[in-house]
Structure 1
Amino acid sequence: MSSGISDPSPARTAPTKAPATRLRRDVQGLRAVAILTVLAAHAGVSWFAGGYVGVDVFFVISGFLITQQLVGELARSGRISLRRFYARRARRILPAATLTLAVTVVAAVVLLGPAQVAPLTLDAVWASAFAANIRMAIAGTDYFQAELPPSPVQHFWSLAVEEQFYLVWPLVALLCIVLATRIGASRGADSGAERGGESSVRARRLLLAAIALITVASLLWSVVHTPAEATSAYFSSLTRAWELGIGAGLAILVTSGRVMQRLAAARFLREILVIGGLAAILLACLTYDESTPFPGYQAALPVLGSAAVILAGAVPSGDSTIGARLLSVPPMQAIGDWSFSLYLWHWPLLVMPEIVLQRDLIWTERSVAVTAAVVLAYLSFRFVEAPFRERTVWRPTWRALTFYPVSIALVVTTAFGGRVYADFEATRGSFQPAISLASASPADPSLDEQQALVRASVIAARGNTPIPTELRPALTELDKLKPRRTKCDYTDDTVRDLCVDGDPDGKKTMVVFGNSHALHWVPTLNRIGKKHGFKVYFLVKNRCVSASITTDRGGDEHDPYTECDDFNRWAFKEYKRLDADLTVVSTAPPIKGVFDEDDRWVGEKDEINELMRPAYTDFLKRVDRHTKRTVLIRDIQGFDANAGTCLSRPGATLGDCVMKPVESRETAIDVQVDAAKEVGVDAVDMNSYFCWDGSCPAVVGDTITHYDGTHMSRQYAPRLTEPLARELGIRDRE
């Protein structure tokens, strides 16, 4: 199979050779700027919160340098070899990346519990296949995973974006060469030399047109998609391709002799470009933060700033500018050399200690982590990156290409070993039975069986009883705790359907209003519906509070959640047509804040509670007018700790994972109950099925009760079917 496409003319002579690519010390210094900004942001330097734009600087640099290689090869030989291209990429990135992934998995096995090791092994496999951005976008857009700690290999998303771009871009380049060759042949050039030279120029023009089209399309998609789907846009190759395209277009543009002549003659312009470009990057670092919608048009500031710096140094005399001299000092050159390895190592060193400690690192701990990252980066560059790039033993193209399957195989093997060890660790030691009622004698006749099991579980935990061996679910399968969505998933704001759950042939109708805290009752209410003959309609939407008030989206930007308002209006319109026999409301309080009648955002807890009481009251009154009976399920207690994470800590016992309610949240929940009393609506309190005597066990019997701090687990919900039916006053079918 051909590794490239060249001019087919038998009389072709070598086209004019392009000048040798010189070492761009300013670009190497720009790499240092990129990694230092990223490092500052991830290390928690508050005034450098926008340092994540360093990734965008990397994208521009990569687009420029890789395209410069492609265009240079085209100028020298009239062709582009895919095999050599991907061999260069393999030597450049795979050794260090593979080492980082393997070491991170091994470190997780040693330091973390099985609950963290299991998902990390899957993340590592995605990362090895250059698909980490897809994996992170899926996880990041899942509401129930939003509060989980970030993956120690999450930073591989940017590497995935680059490699996905370079999977497509060389193929586009080959297509341009084919078109240029055929256009030249159709015009009947007089000689092979003339045909080869013109084809090379024509191919570069087609390349410039192609990258311009890709860049514009990607930029438009980024601008449109970022406000609507911020998380998926952040990780998407489609919203980031234009940043690499800017660098690629710049690499093609500077091959123009006319452009280079004008640039060489304009020293003052070069000074403005490099200083202005660095200032633009710095401005983004200082003014952007986590609340900035990104990438979108906001990414243009660091992207164009990077392009300006690169353009300023495109001529040999560009090295003499003030900015280029600053970028070329030895420390910046050294950090630029280590930048790739430093990027690989810094993130797991900052994230994994926080997972182990279950808290944010203090500044001294972050300083130690950053120092360790620098040391590892030097060692990785010195003994891994450089040898694989420079030693002749790895120069043959076929050997370099074997890095791809070998890399994936090594990571998959390490991940598989980590998962096997996690499974073993989860059930390590002698068999420990599930907690039973016999664990708490004498019995308390005032409690039903499930409440008595909660009491027994608290008593067992207070006695530091070992964690049961056969948990539901296993500690390596904690994702199964996540509440299951309904048939009609209203996460997508375009979905406006009614779906029947419960008993589709039932003669009675139950309607459920709420947000994700109604969703975690789905297994319970569905079973009640099937057993007692209810059609069940779940009008629930994540983050959407069932109250007559506009809330924010739960982020730091304090944007009104207008989609929730639209959904509540639609849901209520449909609800009035259903003629419900029973309406159940279960909703969590607002996450961050609400908007008052003057559209002023309110974030102080006492003020929120004052506004929420009439908002709940009005909602319940409107609901109660169109149903035979309304019941509010008091929101279950929430905790600061994560049950699954606590249980998976090495050496943990049930006693280590006894949780207590968050007082401020309980106050907000009490507002719901007060509103129900005002309206005359029954309020059901199920907290005795989670806690006893002020203590809340992470495990009741053999079942983990919570998915996270506030959501009931999918496995525990069915155990409350009979208790909730009794509390709702539902009798068996007649």
Structure 2
Amino acid sequence: MPYRSDATPARNPGIDTLRGLSILLVVLHHLGLRLPLKASLLGDVVPARVLAALNWNGYEAVFVFFVISGFLIARHSITRWGSLARIDAAAFYVRRGARILPCLVLVVLVLSLLHLAGAADYVIAREGQSLPRAIVAAFGLHLNWYEGRTGYLPGGWDVLWSLSIEETFYLGFPLACLVVRGERLLLVLLAAFALTLPMTRAALHGNEIWQEKAYLPGMAAIACGVLAAIVSARWTARSPWFARRLVFTGALALASVLLVEGWWWSWLGNGTMLVLTGAVACILVGLDGTEGMPGARGLSWLRSFGRLSYEIYLGHMFVVFAVVAASKAIATPAEWSFLWYVPGVGLSWLLGAVVARAWSLPCERWLRRRFARSARRPAAPALAVD
């Protein structure tokens, strides 16, 4: 991974592309739940397997996000502090909070106002659920558990389940690094945790929501990303040729899971998720060893989705509900419903770009300046020379 002179990691176009693909699949999934491509004219001309891959890989895409998140945060931490054993926990929390909280606060505020206004698709009306409890669950990082107990929340709230898993992991991550300290032991523990993914999913089969949104499977995927980051940071002897082959192999495995997932599940069951996370880890390690492998031409739009992935993820349901409502308002025939995907995807990107530029990134910069501990002491004055 290339780095700037101030030790801040430069963006890797390949990783941005992978992240962009993931957020695109999430948006397509939530559109597909309401405007399925199979029911449109595309169902007559596009293979069903391709349409299924476009509409029904949202859950898998979130696990791709988990691996990428673990990789990038651990990789940046190694670069910033030299090793995970020397991680500055307070500075780590400030950076995570500055990135996560501004957008989360804004989304929860808007969702709460829409609920109070009685807006369709935003009212929390299921028995056993309430707005105050949803707010507590969102900020208390247990919205996934809350849904597992009470049922699905409206779509705008529901997307916060993955944030509960991710940020719970990162609350304990720096402390675990400081306690374990030995890198080899940390590698063993991370590998063991990553390998539990199929078992933890299988153990939770009694509750469909909780099986999908429980802490341990998602954390196992994040651990896989952290493991890949440590390996990548210490593996300096790899050749560009091998790195590219690693990317190709991982991409092939990932594509096979997304396109013929049914075959994998019939063969490996829950082990399919381990194939997916391992494939993503291979891609990331390979990309990290290619000196920022140039982004493919024509995919700059997808890379921009990757750069805005957090803002798009938290905000895209507002667009999805608006697009679906517009489709119903003009009585769009089912066979032409696929046309709404263009504004759905485009407006999701636009909303994410506006929020990032006007709110989340300025807030992030301010919070880091305001709360970051001074890691650099003022330089001592130079001695005068007679």
Residue 107 (structure 1) shift: 2.5
Residue in structure 1 matched with residue 168 of structure 2 by the alignment:
164
Residue in structure 1 matched with residue 237 of structure 2 by the alignment:
261
Trace 1:548-627 onto structure 2 (pairs within 5 A).
none
Trace 1:105-184 onto structure 2 (pairs within 5 A).
105-112=112-119, 116-117=123-124, 119=129, 121=131, 122-140=133-151, 150-177=154-181
Please tell me whether the aligned partners of residues 114 and 122 of structure 2 are also in contact (alpha carbons under 8 angstroms). no
Separation of aligned partners in 2, 1:306 and 1:107: 37
Deviations 1:470-499 (A, max 9, x none): xxxxxxxxxxxxxxxxxxxxxxxxxxxxxx
Residue in structure 2 matched with residue 244 of structure 1 by the alignment:
222
Residue in structure 2 matched with residue 66 of structure 1 by the alignment:
73
Change (3 A) 1:366 1:124: farther
* SS across alignment from 2:190: helix
Residue in structure 2 matched with residue 224 of structure 1 by the alignment:
202
Alignment of 1:337 onto 2:307: yes
Please tell me whether the aligned partners of residues 50 and 288 of structure 1 are also in contact (alpha carbons under 8 angstroms). no
> How many residues were matched structurally?
338
Please tell me whether the aligned partners of residues 39 and 51 of structure 1 are also in contact (alpha carbons under 8 angstroms). no
Separation of aligned partners in 1, 2:12 and 2:138: 30
Residue 329 (structure 1) shift: 4.1
Give the structure with the higher percent strand: 1
* SS across alignment from 1:210: helix
The match for 1:349 among 308, 319, 324 is 319
Q: Which moved more, 1:222-231 or 1:91-100?
A: 222-231
* SS across alignment from 2:158: coil
Please tell me whether the aligned partners of residues 211 and 249 of structure 1 are also in contact (alpha carbons under 8 angstroms). yes
Deviations 1:206-265 (A, max 9, x none): 32122123223x325325325444331110011222111110001111122xx3213x25
Counterpart amino acid of 2:254?
I
Separation of aligned partners in 2, 1:158 and 1:102: 19
Residue 397 (structure 1) shift: 2.4
Please tell me whether the aligned partners of residues 124 and 153 of structure 1 are also in contact (alpha carbons under 8 angstroms). no
Structure 2: gaps spanning 5 or more residues: 1-5, 39-50, 374-386
- Tell me how large the CA RMSD over aligned residues is: 3.5
* SS across alignment from 2:216: helix
Separation of aligned partners in 1, 2:360 and 2:221: 25
Separation of aligned partners in 2, 1:271 and 1:78: 30
* SS across alignment from 1:23: coil
When Rg is computed on C-alpha atoms for both structures, the one with the higher figure is: 1
Deviations 1:153-186 (A, max 9, x none): 1010011110111122211101023xxxxxxxxx
Change (3 A) 1:107 1:81: same
The match for 1:51 among 54, 57, 60 is 57
Structure number with greater CO (CA < 8 Å, separation at least 6) is: 2
The match for 1:39 among 27, 31, 38 is 27
Change (3 A) 1:33 1:255: same
Alignment TM-score, normalising by the size of structure 1: 0.42
Please tell me whether the aligned partners of residues 323 and 343 of structure 2 are also in contact (alpha carbons under 8 angstroms). no
Alignment of 1:325 onto 2:301: no
Separation of aligned partners in 2, 1:77 and 1:161: 21
Separation of aligned partners in 2, 1:225 and 1:313: 34
Please tell me whether the aligned partners of residues 197 and 273 of structure 2 are also in contact (alpha carbons under 8 angstroms). no
Trace 1:175-214 onto structure 2 (pairs within 5 A).
175-177=179-181, 203-214=182-193
Trace 1:269-280 onto structure 2 (pairs within 5 A).
269-280=242-253
Residue in structure 2 matched with residue 375 of structure 1 by the alignment:
350
Separation of aligned partners in 2, 1:89 and 1:106: 26
The match for 2:259 among 286, 291, 298 is 286
* SS across alignment from 1:319: coil
The match for 2:363 among 365, 372, 388 is 388
Counterpart amino acid of 2:61?
G
Residue 150 (structure 1) shift: 4.2
Change (3 A) 1:229 1:152: same
Please tell me whether the aligned partners of residues 349 and 373 of structure 1 are also in contact (alpha carbons under 8 angstroms). yes
Please tell me whether the aligned partners of residues 85 and 178 of structure 2 are also in contact (alpha carbons under 8 angstroms). no
**Equivalent pairs: percent with the same residue?**
23
